[in-house]
Amino acid sequence: MIEDQFQRDPKPLKIANRTFKSRLFVGTGKFSSTKSMRDAIELSCTEMVTVALRRIDLTKPMEEEDIIASLDLTKIQLLPNTSGARDAEEAVRLARIAREMGGGNWIKLEVTPDPYYLLPDGKETLKATEILVKEGFVVLPYIQADPILAKQLQEAGAATVMPLGSPIGSNQGIRTKESIKIIIEQAEVPVVIDAGLGLPSHVAEAFEMGADAVLVNTAIAISVHSGYSAFSFALATLAGREAYLNGIYGNTNARTLELSYESNTWKKASASSPLTGFLDEENR
Cα 220 from Cα 226, distance rounded (Å)? 5
CB of 12 to another protein, least distance (A): 32
Segment interacting with another protein, rule: CB under 8 A, options 101-109, 129-137, 189-197, 271-279: 271-279
Q: Assess contact for 80 and 53: CB atoms under 8 A.
A: yes
Distances (CA, A) of 193 to 25, 39, 42, 161: 10, 23, 21, 8
Residues β-bridged to residue 219: none
- Determine whether 203 is exposed, middle or buried from the number of CB atoms within 10 Å of its CB (0-12, 13-18, 19+): buried
- HSE-up of residue 118 (Cα within 13 Å, Cβ side): 17
Is 123 an active-site residue?
Answer: no
Cβ-based nearer residue to another protein, 160 or 172: 172
Binding status of residue 59 toward another protein by CB under 8 A? yes
Select from 19, 32, 70, 186 the one that contacts another protein (CB under 8 A).
32
Binding status of residue 7 toward another protein by CB under 8 A? no
Binding status of residue 263 toward another protein by CB under 8 A? no
Question: Could you say which of 14, 108, 134, 267 is catalytic?
Answer: 108
Pairing state between β 13-15 and 18-20: antiparallel
Total of chain residues touching another protein, rule CB under 8 A: 45
Which residues touch 79 (CB under 8 Å, ≥6 apart)? 25, 48, 49, 50, 51, 106, 107, 108, 140
Select from 2, 9, 16, 90 the one that contacts another protein (CB under 8 A).
90
Angle CA(204)–CA(48)–CA(11) in degrees, nearest 5? 60
Select from 9, 21, 30, 144 the one that contacts another protein (CB under 8 A).
30
CB of 281 to another protein, least distance (A): 9
CB of 186 to another protein, least distance (A): 32
Q: Restricting to residues 127-186, name those near another protein by CB under 8 A.
A: 169-171
Cα 241 from Cα 203, distance rounded (Å)? 10
Select from 22, 218, 232, 237 the one that contacts another protein (CB under 8 A).
218
Binding status of residue 3 toward another protein by CB under 8 A? no
Binding status of residue 222 toward another protein by CB under 8 A? yes
Binding status of residue 225 toward another protein by CB under 8 A? no
In 10 A of CB 140, how many CB atoms? 30
Cα 190 from Cα 184, distance rounded (Å)? 8
Binding status of residue 278 toward another protein by CB under 8 A? yes
CB of 228 to another protein, least distance (A): 15
**Residues annotated catalytic, as ranges:** 108
Query: Which residues are at the interface with another protein (CB under 8 A)?
Result: 29-34, 53-59, 84-86, 90, 93-94, 97, 113-116, 169-171, 218, 221-222, 261-262, 265-266, 268-270, 274-276, 278-279, 282-284
